[in-house]
Structure 1
Amino acid sequence: MSLVTDAIRAAASEMYHGDDICREKSKQLLTEMGLPNGLLPLKDIVEVGYVKETGFVWLIQKKKCEHRFEKIGKPVQYATEVTAYIQPNRITKLTGVKAKELLLWVVLREIYVDVPPTGKITFKTPTGLFRTYPVDAFQLQDDNNNNKNENANEKEKEKKPAVEIKPTVEVKEV
C-alpha cells in the first residue's frame, strides 16, 4: 500500500518525473535542508515529490536497491517507495530504508545532523537505538568541484615537463 495518495500528489509544491531530474532535485532538497546530499543514492527514480507546507517528501524508484556507504562500511536497502518528513537538519517518520547491523536489517525512522554542526549525523530506529557517523561519509562530491580539481591537475601537469632531464657532469682524472 502506497503512502503517496492522489490527494498528497495534488498538494505537492514540487513534483518531478524521470531519473536525472529526480536525482538532481532530491540532492538539492537535502542540501537546502542542511543534510548530506548522498543520503538517498536511489537508482532509476520514477517520481519525487515535496509538500512544502508539511515537509512531506517521497521518492519512488522502479525497484528496490541496495547501496554500500564505503566510508562507514554499511549496506543500506531502499524500498521502491521512500517517504519522510523533512525539516532543517532532520528527517522524521522515514519509511522504506533499512541498514544492516551485524546480521540483521534494521529499519531506520529518523536521521538528524547535530546543530551546531559538529560533523556528526545520527540514525535512529523505531526502538530508540541509534548510531552516529561523520557527515562526510554521506556527502557526494559536487560535480563542479570535481571539474575544477581535474582542471587544476591538468594545468599543474602542463607546468611540469613530462620527463625531467638532469644535467650530467663528467669528472676526468688527471
Structure 2
Amino acid sequence: MADLKEGGVVKKGHEEGLKLAISILEEFCLPLGLLPLADVIEAGFVKTTGYMWIVQSKKVEHNFKLIKKMVSYDTEISGFVEKKKIKKLKGVKAKELMLWPPVNDITVEDPPTGKIVFKSLAGITKTFPEEAFAAGQ
C-alpha cells in the first residue's frame, strides 16, 4: 500500500483533507457530493498515477435522497481517479435490497448526458442522474 502512496500529496486533518478530496473531484469533473466525508484524518493523491485515498475516523452512511439510495463509506476509501472516472474503488458500498455490494467503478458519462454510472464487481451496474450527487445532497 505504501508504494501506491509514494510521491503523493498528503493532507492531515478534516479541513485540509476535505479540501483536497473536493479539489480532486473538481479537477476530474466528478460530482462534488460523491464523497460525503466526516472527520477526515488523512487524504492523499498521487498525480502521476491518479491514486487517491481518504482515511476517516469512522464509517459514514449517507442517504442520497434524490435517488433513495443508502451508501456506506468505510474508514478507508481509495481508488484511481481519471477524468470523469474513479476506478478500482475500495471502501464504498451501495445498498441493494438486503445486500451491500462494493462499488468498484464510477463513471460520469461522456459526452455528458447528466448520468453517472456505478459498477460493482458482482456485475451490478446502476445509472443515476448526476445531480443526485451534487454538493449538499
Would the TM-score normalized by the shorter structure come out above 0.5?
Answer: yes
> What SS is found at the alignment partner of 1:57?
strand
Aligned-residue CA RMSD in angstroms? 1.1
Larger Rg: 1
Q: Work out the number of aligned pairs and report it.
A: 136
Higher relative contact order (CA 8 A, sep 6+): 2
How does 1:14-93 map onto structure 2 within 5 Å? 14-93=9-88
Counterpart-to-counterpart distance in 2, 1:17 and 1:73 = 32
State TM-score, norm by structure 2.
Answer: 0.94
Structure 1, unaligned stretches of length 5 or more? 142-174
Deviation at 1:9, TM superposition (A): 3.7
Moved more, 21-30 or 130-139: 21-30
SS at structure 1 position matched to 2:95: strand
Structure (1/2) with the larger helix percentage: 1
| Identical-residue share of aligned pairs (%) | 42
Q: For 1:34 and 1:108, how far apart are their aligned partners in 2? A: 19
The one-letter code matched in structure 1 to 2:74 is A
Whole-angstrom distance in 2 between the partners of 1:94 and 1:67: 17
Q: Deviations over 1:77-134 (max 9, x none)?
A: 1111000000001100000010001111111100000001000000000132200000
Whichever residue aligns with residue 110 of structure 1, its letter is D
**TM-score normalised to the size of structure 1?**
0.75
SS of 2:25's equivalent? helix
Give the conservation status (yes or no) of the 8 Å contact 2:20–2:44: no
More strand by share: 2
